[in-house]
Chains A and B, each alone.
Chain A
Amino acid sequence: AQSVTQLGSHVSVSEGALVLLRCNYSSSVPPYLFWYVQYPNQGLQLLLKYTSAATLVKGINGFEAEFKKSETSFHLTKPSAHMSDAAEYFCAVSEGTAGNKLTFGGGTRVLVKP
């Protein structure tokens, strides 16, 4: 069975400050890991994914995440927050490629202060 834990349901950052969203997972097989973003009244958009290649993964909008097997973590970062980053962010894990369900974390809502 897989599970995902996102520490902090709400994060508040100042514009220009570092964004750090934490994700820890458990999986009985080598995981595929994802970060999705949900803007208000919209669907889930893929930010980035890890699929056993490079451990540092770059995504859209300046986000990146690092897979650390020893810590079972896949934290999401962005060096400098922008007002448009205000959204809810979901970490998810699956057991493989197409056909495998995603198991989501509880989500972290990011508020960006001017």
Chain B
Amino acid sequence: EPEVTQTPSHQVTQMGQEVILRCVPISNHLYFYWYRQILGQKVEFLVSFYNNEISEKSEIFDDQFSVERPDGSNFTLKIRSTKLEDSAMYFCASNREGASEAFFGQGTRLTVV
């Protein structure tokens, strides 16, 4: 069964460093998302991406964040200069055209120290 895959599963980084979280959405999906879940809090929407551009972003998604689809399969989230409060589980998700349900990856646990 097709699935969304995310790498790495865990990432520890020092404050101020750049990180790139990687996702491979399901191959025939066209809509891509990043969400995050800070420990003990809700899953929060960060950004949606369609047709090679951001379609919507939340207030959380400030200038420190960027997304990219560098090739036909990968979808990345970059955090330019990490802060302690960026520590969270980051989920990638994707939808196919016309479908309401999003499929989620296993998540990347980011720890900023």
| A-to-B contact residues, CB < 8 Å | 32, 34, 36, 42-46, 49, 51, 90, 92, 94, 96-107
Contact = CB atoms under 8 A, between A and B. Distances in A.
B87 interface: no
Contacts of B93: 44, 102
A84 B40 CA distance: 22
A9 B101 CA distance: 24
Nearest to B107: A43
A105 B51 CA distance: 29
A44 B58 CA distance: 20
Nearest to A97: B100
Interface residues of B, number: 31
| Interchain residue pairs A-B with the least CB separation, the first 5 | A98-B95, A44-B104, A43-B106, A104-B43, A101-B45
A51 B45 contact: no
Nearest to B55: A99
B42 A34 contact: no
B45 A102 contact: yes
Contacts of B91: 43-44
Contacts of A104: 42-44
Contact of B101 (A34, A43, A90): A34
Contacts of A101: 33, 45, 48, 56, 58
Contact of B43 (A42, A44, A46): A44
B60 to A, nearest CB: 12
Interface string B32-50: 0101000001111100101
Interface centre among A46, A99, A106 (most CB of B within 10 A): A99
Nearest to A92: B43
Interface in B8-59: 30-31, 33, 35, 41-45, 48, 50, 55-56, 58
B42 A98 contact: no
